[in-house]
Amino acid sequence: MRVTRINKKDSAPKAESKVDLKLIEPLIKKYKNKKGNLIPLLQGTQNLFGYIPPEAMLLLSRETGLKISDMYGVATFYAQFRLNPVGKHIVKICHGTACHVQNAKAVTEDLQNFLEVKDGGTTPDNIFTLETVACLGCCSLAPVMMIGEETYGKLNGKKAVEVIKEIKRKETLNQKKSLTENISKN
């Protein structure tokens, strides 16, 4: 079924929330009192924060009069919405028919083992979130995964892990760079 129950443990806020609710204001202005505004509001919120923070839902409800229960119902119904923060890079592995036939499962397993997360999970360093999706529409390049806007085709487990390693290497470099910059500033 589409709706999956969320464990209390999972839904508890993981980190001190640093959500700037002011960002939502233009969104509310745009959609307030319009028919069918619930989904665009949630989509807009997610575009701002990468997920839908509980406090954003409360604010939306206060400002627009939409019911929190309706919002929560919609947010848990559609695959697009997330209620938890995600990593910097979302790795979407295609599990469409063409990819399945070309052994997408092996790609997923290798990535899960490498990142040590399950489907939908985020790595502890908040760099990667792993997701399996139904179809990215690049069937002739199967198996496929998508990271950000970039699509990688004709994969196997090894190639996919290489891509991740490369991104990770860049991230660590960036981190080091900003660290040294901070130190030199201070």
Partner 1 sequence: MAQTKVIVGLGSCGIAAGAGKVYEELQRIKVADNLDFELKKTSCIGMCFKEPLVEIIDETGSYLYGEVDSKKADEIIEKHIVNFTPVKEYIVKSDTTETKFDHYFEGQVKIALRNCGYIDPENIDEYEARGGYQAIKKIANERIGVQEVIKSILDSGLRGRGGGGFPTGLKWKFANNNRSKEKYIICNADEGDPGAFMDRSVLEGDPHSVLEGMIIGAYAIGASDGVIYCRAEYPLAIKRLNIAIAQARDKGYLGKDILGIEGFDFDLYIKEGAGAFVCGEETALIASVEGERGMPRKRPPFPAVSGLWRKPTNINNVETYANIPWIISNGAKEYAKYGTEKSKGTKVFALTGKIKNGGLVEVPMGITIKDIIYKLGGGIIDDKKFKAVQLGGPSGGCIPEYLSHTIVDYDSVNATGAIMGSGGMVVMDETTCMVDIARFFLEFTCKESCGKCTFCRVGTKRMLEILTRITEGDGREGDIEKLEELAYQIKDGSLCGLGQTAPNPVLTTIKYFRDEYEAHIRDKKCPALNCKKLLTYEIIEDKCTGCMVCKRGCPTKAISGEKKMPHFIDQELCIKCGDCYSKCKFDSIKIF
Which residues would be at the binding site for partner 1 (CB under 8 A)? 1-3, 35-40, 42-43, 70, 73-74, 77-81, 95-102, 133-142, 144, 149, 151-153
Q: How many helices (H) and strands (E) does the chain have?
A: 8, 4
Spatial neighbors of 101 by CB under 8 A, at least 6 apart, are 142
Please, which residue, 23 or 74, has the CB nearer to partner 1? Answer: 74
Min dist. Cβ of residue 9 to partner 1 (A): 22
Q: In terms of CB distance, is 16 or 95 closer to partner 1?
A: 95
Shortest spacing between CB 173 and partner 1, in angstroms: 22
Smallest gap from Cβ 125 to partner 1, in A, equals 26
Dihedral of CA 15/85/132/71: which sign? positive
**Other beta carbons less than 10 A from residue 79's beta carbon:** 9
CB of 50 to partner 1, least distance (A): 15
Count CB atoms within 10 A of the CB of residue 1. 5
Q: Which lies closer to partner 1 via its Cβ, residue 102 or residue 123?
A: 102
Residue closer to partner 1 (CB basis): 70 or 125:
70
Continuous H helices in 32-156 = 38-49, 54-64, 68-77, 97-101, 104-115
